[in-house]
Structure 1
Amino acid sequence: MSLPGTPASASTIFISASANRHAHAADVSTNFLVAFGSHRFVALWDTNREDFEGVKATLPGHEGEVTCTTFSGDSDLFSADDKGKIIRRVLQDGKWKVASQIEAHSAPVSALCVYQTIVVSGASDAKLKIWNSTPEGLVLIQTLDLKGRYPLDVKLSLLPQSSAIVMAVACTDRLVRIYTQGQDGFSLAASLEGHEDWVRCLSFAHSSHVLEGGSPNDERHILTVASGSQDGNIRLWVIEPKQDTTKAANDLGGIDPLDAFEDSLDLGDEEVGRKISNRSHVIAVREPDGSQRQFTITFDALLIGHENHVTSLAWRPAPSSPSAVPTLLSSSTDASLILWSPTPGPAPIWINRHRFGDIGGGKVGGFVGALWCHEGNEVACWGWNGSWRRWRKVDGEGREETWSEVGAVTGHQGPVKGLAWDPNGDYLISSGLDQTTRIFAPWTRQNHTNPGEPQVETWHEAARPQIHGYDLINSAFITPLRFVSVADEKVARVFDAPKGFIRTLKALGPERVANISEEDRPIGANVPPLGLSNKAAGDDDETFQERGHEQSARPPYEGELASVTLWPEIEKLFGHGYELYALGVSNSGALVATACKATSAEHAVVRVYDTHTWKQVGKPLAGHVLTVTRIQFSPDERFVLTASRDRTWRLFERSEEGGFIPCSSEKAHARIIWDCAWSGDGTLFATAGRDKLVKIWQGIDGSQKEWQTIATLKLDEPATAVDFSWPDRGERRLLAIGLETGDVLVYSSPIKAIVEWNLLLHLDSSIAHLDQVHRVAWRPALGASSSASIATCGDDGTARILRLYV
């Protein structure tokens, strides 16, 4: 948001976000807007856009991780979290606004369903709550005690040819429970047996067909319930009206006596999942006219094909084509999606029509959930690592369909700790606790939708150069095609771009790489079994599957990012005794500095390396007594500035011998100093501390041996990240500050009045972050543009690029 009375404003260019590891964390509206839980945000992804824009906004409001999202129409969005809260948002004037929120449960919400005005929520408190959705909020009308069983899924539907509502509930046992709605609310009508492990997911579908040899008046209406279990199997149950069962209310006697006799012969609950029974269950419901009807529930089919837990089920939206067949989408932790449909004929058999994903279930965690988009013409799913994959039907109808993969959303699954632009500002690298580094780049191309319009530019993940075995803390470019990273280990690693990355960049559009030669570079890299180092793969390496020319003309998809976009490791930097924590690279790329976690002066040192020889330069830079949190080279590389947990900053100056010697220091803050940054001309630097202060420092004399505070910015929250814009914006400097709460502040100062700093922009959680900001980085080479770009990352798992109109 911009401050009142100022022309400054901000907009989102790109958001990298991942989906939470909950099977109900995502839903899609009828206009193809996907809402999914991403940490404590609800992220919005418009899959209807042909430019593959990705996540367009994130909605704050939850205090816990979002576990469930579900649409009610196109303008109502419900979401729930692991703190038990449910939020209803409505679409007004193109923006999603919170209409109501309620602390619904005392435990994480694990299931959420909305049908008409009925909202059903289930949580780990073993309670199922039925709410009435009103403009004023949710009104509790019934609570069902599940007696210690946690609800994993709940679905509502109308019974076939009836206005009565039926509810199916899956719990942490082997039963599918069927509830019917009466005058006193929902009551248990039947328990469906057969699964051998917990039932994880459910889905309803209405259908009708004319019986063989019958007239059109003999149409059979059924409601099919699909249930998926941790036993890897899917069961289909058919609910249909029982013939000649409409009676007056006082004539109905309840469950059929024969069924009651069979129930008496059943085994106990502990063996119920191992029974094989095809008997029909009979349930009774009351219609609005006072009559009562009976329906039968019969086991119809067993679908076997997954090798591990079934995590989600979804019926294809009602087909518009008469040749379309009923199709069920299932996802599994075996890293596969399956489309199931019946064979033609009077005795159909449900078979696997299409299988998507990874052969052999090699991806850890597999797929968490899946859903249909574009009226059943697209399938989207998200995996254990939070990234999405998407397939689109390209040809055929019914049983002759062909599908191809298209672009989707990717992002870190966990806090993003490090972020840096390449020296030219063409692309961005990030590092996260999900043990990956990722490179994001713009894709510039012709506007095929409106050929007369300017070119389209969207940002995408272009490579995943490092997939590590340790949590990654930071990374920075040495040259545009070489970077160094530090992780929760004692070694810094250096990586060089392979041919595949250069080809991808040339296809995506950055002009500066057009003349870069691919010769003498490996085609890619592989990680040996049980290894941590990426080994170069040559052109003759049969184990490496190179991206083809057609694939290289677009951003890589998730399957390719995780396998063929690694960069080969060319060097390791040793010397520290504990896990690395801080990293700095000089502007020219000639020097790299690292620091490790420390509780004593012996280890709280900075080691500087020459990037041509990979040897240490001079002696370690000593002086701090606790962990060094940030290392920054001055623009002219004369100084090394460090900040530390010991609440001091220290300055080291380049000596004639080539190393660095202590120059100046000061205990500048009352709490830990999280970050520091140099101004573009090297005459100022800033320090950001947990004491809610950002201090601006200037050299006292021309020698810059001593420094003094010339301005102190007092904030409402601890400052965790800071960066100066470069070059200066006209007659003023800009300073970006990231806060512990996730907000980002932008201050400006006239170049000729450096003691004056004014707040220009305050970016809150509606456009910035929800948790601690770890890095803010202005995009280099701003030029004379009226806007500037800044990249940010934080504990909420997102990396963002914002355009600031300042």
Structure 2
Amino acid sequence: MVAPLLEITHVFCCPNRVRGALSWSSGSGGLLAFGTSCSVVLYDPRKRVVITNLNGHTARVNCVQWICKQDGSSSTELVSGGSDNQVIHWEIENNQLLKAVHLQGHEGPVYAVHALHQRRASDVELHTLIVSAASDSTVRVWSKKGSEGRDLFLASCSQDCLIRIWRLYIKSTSLETQDDDNIKLKENTFTIENESIKIAFAVTLETVLAGHENWVNAVHWQPSFYKDGVLQQPVRLLSASMDKTMILWAPDEESGVWLEQVRVGEVGGNTLGFYDCQFNEDGSMIIAHAFHGALHLWKQNAANPREWTPEIVISGHFDGVQDLMWDPEGEFIITVGTDQTTRLFAPWKRKDESQVTWHEIARPQIHGYDLKCLAMISRFQFVSGADEKVLRVFSAPRNFVENFCAITGQSLNLLLCNQDGDLPEGATVPALGLSNKAVFQEDIASQPSDEEELLTSTSFEYQQMAFHPSILTEPPTEDHLLQNTLWPEVQKLYGHGYEIFCVACSNSKALLASACKAAKKEHAAIILWNTTSWKQVQNLVFHSLTVTQMAFSPNDKFLLAVSRDRTWSLWKRQDIVSPDLDPVFSLFAFTNKVTAVHSRIIWSCDWSPDSKYFFTGSRDRKVVVWGECDSSDDSVEHSIGPCSSVLDVGGAVTAVSVCPLLNLSQRYIVAVGLECGKVCLYTWKKTDQVPEINDWTHCVETSQSQSHTLAIKKLCWKNYNGKTEQNEAEGAEWLHFASCGEDHTVKIYKVNRCAL
């Protein structure tokens, strides 16, 4: 079997922040389906991997529901509703999309869906019934070809913190002869007429459950399952509330009174409770969906059924992901997003399993502004920019390095030897503050114990110290990520007049370049910083509007900048007389309104690994390669020009990245990200023809399930330096790159180098 050219290896995402965006399929090996941005993600909680993405909605997915089979086997159909006014019926086969049917009719966003299989009395075939409710104040029932009379229990929840269980049953048409003195529950009756047949139903209030202290957002019955060929229907109810707890309810076996069996939830952290909850197929696992997108998974202890332990589950940004970077060794990824968080994803390498899964192992920054960009200063140091005028520099604490080594299998002594100075243990955020404050060993030692704190506390003062060091052997839970994985802030960089937009670091890690939003030339200046003293080195003034991206050449001789003003500028480093002096850059080449090739904003740029050429991508759908031209003119301004034919990729270009390795034919490998969410791979090599012809080769592009559903913000190839997978069995054959986008997701792809 021929290996595919392009595969997705890992996906990081989380559910949308709406009720009903989560559903767990019935049957063995049930998959978890949830809406993330405009996609429906199928996730396997046992293997801890994303199985596939279902792309079809054009706006946020608001609700998802698996359709349970009557024989208790694994579900293969699900239905989803979105803000695009659509209901989509999906059919799955072998964990891949078989067919999608778009049901159009609503005139407003769809917020609730439910579906079931039904067999009519006069028909042998099963029929699929789908019910959808939307903000257009309509409930629609959809029927597709494809009941028995018994009591039904309906659970409802509301903002009064209570759960009510209602009993729905068919009311007997015979005359009632009961004594009026008997006490009986008040019942409401209604009649349904179908094909001249009238059926009377009655509804009574069975019980009221009080246990939550805030709004109850969701209730979910444990699904039925087959045991020894007999259909079992456990009477257990799960509820999720804004009080950060999830409660498992069941009637007492002797008295029949509904009681709380298990209560689980979040402790600490700046969170706002749960939106939704679900059982797995046999009730041994429960999951909650939190306000900030996080999933919380608990598993029942087989030896002690009343004990539930937290489990590892997928996590990711709950808003657009703006930037990402591989670490210099190519062993983890750091991302920033408009959800105001910085997240670090790394592989979990277990001794007893060959499969490696990636997880979020740290959340170095939880900010108060939307984050826009970042750059790696060293392996465990980065700088981030947000919708503020300040750049912030972060360094990894000792506790993170210890946990990183334990989870990824790295040598702790080797990593600690490369760290300078006395590392803090961790970090914490003061009340009403934005800066992560370092926590040292002596700070932890001086903390009073919980008992001492209770005895000596005279007021309800906010306790600033929230960090507690711990050694992990597996990826942390959401509670741990929120409180114990922050990195201390070591420096603030002031100098820009408006919100930071992009940042880049030289390959020698000696210089940092930053730029901010600008509408005038003086504000569009690029500031160069010394990463040792953190002092400003130089201001580079040329562009008249916002600089959208910058890139240092691999040999650090040039700095390239592209701008919203549709031009690029190339700055050359001057020869340094003394090693103690900071490098100075001067304008080497540029384009203007006359020489410009791009007619729209230039979003992205990157260098070839040999520093000979640079690539630019624009909203005008063009990708152009630039380099030194064979010209008789000695003027510096005209020494750089287009070296390729203009590549039209068919859509607005938002990201360009060049692989640090060439393919087997010694051609440059270029990844292009589009505004529609698609990633295209090309190879390019300069030819001797004038003009350039057939220099570009289209290799592959992502399929619908592999693509993002909104604009791609950044593409980044993995670094290959002889210490990573390049030395392993598949290292010479497979290349890796990561992507992030406005659809809240981060994806890692692997590319078959031999097939390019």
TM-score bucket (shorter structure): 0.7 to 0.9
Contact 2:547 2:562 in 1 (8 A): yes
Per-residue deviation, 1:384: 1.5
Match of 1:630 in 2: 549
**Cα distance in structure 1, aligned partners of 2:161 and 2:605:** 52
Counterpart pick for 2:585 among 655, 660, 666? 660
1:416 to partner: Cα distance: 0.6
Structure 1 residues 367 and 663: CA distance shift in structure 2, 3 A? same
- Tell me which residue corresponds to 1:521: 423
Q: Which residue of 2 aligns with 1:17?
A: 13
Three-state SS of the structure 2 residue aligned to 1:563 is helix
Distance (whole Å) between structure 2 residues aligned to residue 387 and residue 437 of structure 1: 14
Q: Please give the alpha-carbon distance, in whole angstroms, between the structure 1 residues aligned to 2:46 and 2:18.
A: 24
Is 1:334 aligned to residue 256 of structure 2? no
- What is the CA-CA distance between 1:593 and the residue it aligns to? 0.8
Shift of 1:367: 1.1
Match of 1:538 in 2: 440
Q: Are residue 60 (structure 1) and residue 7 (structure 2) matched?
A: no
What stretches of structure 1 of length at least 5 have no aligned partner? 1-5, 136-157, 164-220, 259-276, 449-454
CA spacing shift, 1:479–1:701, aligned 2, 3 Å = farther
Q: Tell me what 2:78 maps to.
A: 77
Determine the C-alpha separation between the residues in 2 that align with 1:324 and 1:111: 24
Distance 1:284 1:699 in 2: 83
Q: SS where residue 623 of structure 1 aligns?
A: coil
Structure-to-structure mapping, 1:468-483, within 5 angstroms: 468-483=367-382
CA displacement at 1:233 relative to structure 2: 0.8
**Distance in 1 between the 2:238 and 2:372 partners?**
38
- Paired residue secondary structure (1:515): helix
In structure 2, what residue type is equivalent to 1:504?
N
Q: Which amino acid aligns with 1:587?
A: N
Partner of 2:643: 710
Aligned AA for 1:561? L
Report how far residue 757 of structure 1 moved.
1.8
Distance 1:779 1:78, change over 3 A: same
Alignment of 1:261-300 (within 5 A): 279-283=186-190, 296-300=202-206
Q: Is 1:577 aligned to 2:488, yes or no?
A: no
Taking the aligned partners of 2:661 and 2:333, their CA distance within structure 1 comes to: 18
- Deviation of the 1:351 alpha carbon: 2.7
| In 1: Cα distance, 2:511 partner to 2:141 partner | 63
Selected match of 2:261 from 321, 336, 353: 353
CA displacement, residues 741-778 of structure 1 (integer Å, 9 cap, x when unaligned): 11111111347879522111111432021111111111
Which amino acid is 1:633 matched to?
A: F
Q: Which residue of 2 aligns with 1:153?
A: none
1:537 maps to amino acid: V
Q: Indicate the SS of the match to 2:212.
A: coil
The residue number in structure 1 matching 2:608 is 679
How far apart in 2 are the matches of 1:130 and 1:318?
24
Cα distance in 2 between the residues matched to 1:286 and 1:89: 31
C-alpha displacement of 1:365: 3.2
Q: Which moved more, 1:55-64 or 1:620-629?
A: 55-64
Q: 2:470 aligns to what?
A: 548
In 2, the alpha carbon distance for the partners of 1:768 and 1:292 equals 51
| Residue of structure 2 in register with 1:312 after alignment | 218
Q: Give the conservation status (yes or no) of the 8 Å contact 1:592–1:609.
A: yes
Q: For the Cα contact (< 8 Å) 1:8–1:760, is it kept in 2? A: no
Which residue does the alignment assign to 1:212? none
CA offset at residue 377 of structure 1? 0.2
Match of 1:641 among 542, 552, 560: 560
Moved more, 476-485 or 649-658: 649-658
Instruction: Give the letter aligned to residue 641 of structure 2.
Output: Q
Most deviating of 6-15 and 436-445: 6-15
1:60 alignment partner AA: N
2:88 matched residue in structure 1? 87
Q: List per-residue Cα deviations over 1:9-63 (Å, max 9, x = no partner).
A: 11111111110122211211114111111111010101242xx22x232111111
User: How far, CA to CA, are the matches of 2:55 and 2:684 in structure 1?
Assistant: 31
Of 531-540 and 624-633, the range deviating more from structure 2: 531-540
Mapping for residues 12-411 of structure 1, pairs under 5 Å: 12-31=8-27, 32-49=30-47, 52-53=48-49, 55-72=50-67, 73=69, 74-92=75-93, 94-116=95-117, 117-134=128-145, 162-163=148-149, 222-240=151-169, 245-247=172-174, 279-283=186-190, 296-318=202-224, 326-346=235-255, 348-359=256-267, 363-395=270-302, 401-411=306-316
**How far apart in 2 are the matches of 1:514 and 1:717?**
49
Partners of 1:324 and 1:576 lie apart in 2 by 63
Aligned residue type for 1:597 = K
Q: What amino acid is the match of 1:708? A: G
8 Å contact kept, 1:446–1:456: no
Aligned length: 679
Structure 1 residues 108 and 498, CA, compared in 2 at 3 Å: closer, same or farther? same
Contact 1:389 1:409 in 2 (8 A): no
Q: Which residue of 1 aligns with 2:677?
A: 742
Q: Tell me, yes or no, if the aligned pair for 2:224 and 2:234 is still in contact at 8 Å.
A: no
- Whichever residue aligns with residue 685 of structure 1, its letter is F
TM-score by length of 2: 0.84
8 Å Cα contact 1:8/1:761 also seen in 2: no
* Cα distance between partner residues in 1 of 2:99 and 2:389: 47
Which whole-Å CA distance do the structure 1 matches of 2:703 and 2:259 have between them? 50
Residue type at the aligned position of 1:22: V
Cα deviation, residue 104, structure 1: 2.7
The alignment partner of 1:505 has SS state of helix
1:298-340 Cα distance to aligned partner (Å, 9 max, x none): 2222211222221111122348699997321101122211112
* Range with greater deviation from structure 2 (719-728 or 526-535): 719-728
Query: What is the rounded CA distance, in whole Å, between the counterparts of 1:278 and 1:107 in structure 2?
Result: 39
Q: CA deviation at 1:375?
A: 0.8
Listed one character per residue, the Cα deviations across residues 374-431 of structure 1 (whole Å, up to 9, x for unaligned) are 410000111121121100001356xx51100001111111111101111111100111
User: What residue in structure 2 maps to residue 431 of structure 1?
Assistant: 336
Partner SS, residue 501 of structure 1: helix
- Structure 2 alignment gaps of length 5 or more: 70-74, 118-127, 448-464
C-alpha distance in 2, partners of 1:462/1:751? 42
1:779 aligns with 2:703: no
For residue 359 of structure 1, report the CA deviation from its aligned partner.
3.9
Tell which deviates more after alignment, 411-420 or 292-301: 292-301
| CA–CA distance in structure 1, aligned partners of residues 409 and 335 of structure 2 | 19
Contact 1:334 1:365 (8 Å CA) reproduced: yes
Residues in 1 aligned to 2:688 and 2:333: alpha-carbon distance in whole angstroms: 33
Q: 2:718 is aligned with what amino acid?
A: R
Secondary structure class of the residue paired with 1:126: coil
Q: Could you tell me which amino acid in structure 1 is paired with residue 211 of structure 2?
A: G
Q: Residue 133 of structure 1: SS of its match in structure 2?
A: strand
Deviations along 1:262-299, one digit per CA (max 9) or x if unpaired, are: xxxxxxxxxxxxxxx952224456899x9877554322
Please give the per-residue CA displacement for 1:479-533, whole angstroms capped at 9, x wherever unaligned.
Answer: 1110110001000000000122112211122547661128821121111111000
Q: Please say if residues 87 and 98 of structure 1, whose CA atoms lie closer than 8 Å, have aligned partners that are also in contact.
A: no
Give the SS at the match of 1:516.
helix
Distance 1:789 1:525, change over 3 A: same
Q: State the distance in 2 between where 1:491 and 1:357 align.
A: 36
Query: What is the percent sequence identity of the aligned residues?
Result: 34
Q: Quick one: structure 1 residues 121 and 8, their matched pair in 2 at CA, closer, same or farther if it must change by over 3 Å? A: closer
Q: Does 1:726 find its partner at 2:673? A: no
Give the TM-score taking structure 1 as reference length: 0.79
